[in-house]
Copies of this chain bind each other. A is one copy, B any other.
Amino acid sequence: MTAPPPIERLALIGLGLLGSSIAHAARRGALAGHIAGHARSASTRNKAVEIGFIDSVHDSAAACVADCDVIILCAPVGAYGAIAREIAPCLKPGAIVTDVGSVKGAVIRDVGPCLPKEVHLVPGHPVAGTENSGPESGFAELFEGRHCILTPAPGTDPDAIRVIHDMWAAMGSDVEMMDADHHDRVLAITSHLPHLIAYTIVGTASDLEEHLRREQVKNGDVVRTSEVIKYSAGGFRDFTRIAASDPVMWRDVFLNNKEAVLELLGRFTEDLTALQRAIRWGQGDVLEAWFERTRAIRRGIVETGQAGGFSATEPKKGSSEDSEA
């Protein structure tokens, strides 16, 4: 009596945070009749079976995609090319290949040419995640209220786009269409550069950490405390959370959005050098004018409701999220 699920057979290639969250969300929404899963490592496959969020597990990506209607690549972007070459001969005509990667131009470049003509490619990017990774970190609510950006090439079959659109919408996302190049430039500034900067500063701090340990006597014991960690609430903490994100995934993001990231890094370094010079020469007016300008951007974020439950007008009293000085 109930309607059949919109996707008969769904394949997930990669069962980390994103893959497992999609499985949970697809289960919850009855979006797929069968969920087939593949992960490169045996321990991840075993964990997925143990948690039970997939219906069948496969040692190879090729075996996993056989007879599937929708295939979602949930592996690091750098592995896409090899996966595409492996699965191409096993894809059924009319199948739709999509993905969750944070860069999109590289997907069209690496995956597109490998696929048979009668298979559709609809690259996608759910702008959602946490600092956690692995099959045990997934949860069905990950995509709720988040943006999901689809970047199909011009001429892609509208029905294939609609299937992927509806799948993300059913998982709670706000689905949008964008040109792949535009996506990569926007995400370079809103996500890739911030991650690179956070990784850098946390690494710089980690080198200094040894010098900034203090011996203190506590309950008769000499304790060496890391003061970098102890006083991290002064601003540094926000960077460490970002810099705890999955290393392989982020390695691949930077290598596959090289042009946009390097171009932005050039601009960032120019700006930082200008501020550094203002500090060295004591140009308080230059600093103050710059800092006044950045406030306006925050106001825009607060106004559009992207501030993460933090209001500009009402201080979040006693919040652990305070920006301390």
**Interface, chain A (partner B; CB < 8 A):** 78, 102, 127-132, 137, 139, 141-142, 144, 146-147, 182, 185-187, 189-209, 212, 214, 226-245, 247-255, 258, 261-262, 264-265, 267-269, 271-272, 275-276, 279-280, 282, 284, 287-288, 290-301, 304, 306-310, 312, 315-325
Contact B236 A194 (CB under 8 A): yes
Contact A201 B190 (CB under 8 A): no
Please measure, in the bound complex, the distance between the C-alpha atom of A260 and the C-alpha atom of B200, giving whole angstroms.
18
Cβ–Cβ < 8 Å partners of A139 in chain B: 315, 317-318
Cβ–Cβ < 8 Å partners of A293 in chain B: 203, 206
Contact A129 B207 (CB under 8 A): no
Contact A271 B200 (CB under 8 A): yes
Contact A102 B230 (CB under 8 A): no
Since A195-B235, A265-B272, A308-B320 are in contact, a sample of 5 more A-B pairs with Cβ atoms closer than 8 Å, ordered by chain A residue number, is A139-B315, A187-B231, A189-B228, A193-B201, A245-B291
User: What is the interface of chain A mostly: helix, strand, loop, or mixed?
Assistant: helix
Please measure, in the bound complex, the distance between the C-alpha atom of A177 and the C-alpha atom of B26, giving whole angstroms.
55
CB distance from A11 to the nearest CB of B (A): 22
Residue on B with the closest CB to A178? Answer: B214
Number of copies: 2
Please measure, in the bound complex, the distance between the C-alpha atom of A268 and the C-alpha atom of B269, giving whole angstroms.
11
Contact B208 A324 (CB under 8 A): no
Contact B297 A240 (CB under 8 A): yes
Cβ–Cβ < 8 Å partners of A193 in chain B: 201, 204
Cβ–Cβ < 8 Å partners of A284 in chain B: 78, 251-252, 255
Cβ–Cβ < 8 Å partners of A294 in chain B: 198-199, 202-203, 206, 240, 243-244
Cβ–Cβ < 8 Å partners of A306 in chain B: 229-230, 232-233, 237
Contact B324 A320 (CB under 8 A): no
Please measure, in the bound complex, the distance between the C-alpha atom of A128 and the C-alpha atom of B198, giving whole angstroms.
22
CB distance from A168 to the nearest CB of B (A): 15
Contact B186 A295 (CB under 8 A): no
Please measure, in the bound complex, the distance between the C-alpha atom of A128 and the C-alpha atom of B128, giving whole angstroms.
30
Q: What are 11 A-B pairs with beta-carbon distances under 8 A?
A: A129-B322, A132-B312, A146-B324, A186-B228, A190-B232, A193-B204, A202-B297, A202-B298, A204-B271, A252-B284, A255-B284
Cβ–Cβ < 8 Å partners of A231 in chain B: 127, 147, 186-187, 190-191
Residue on B with the closest CB to A310? Answer: B241
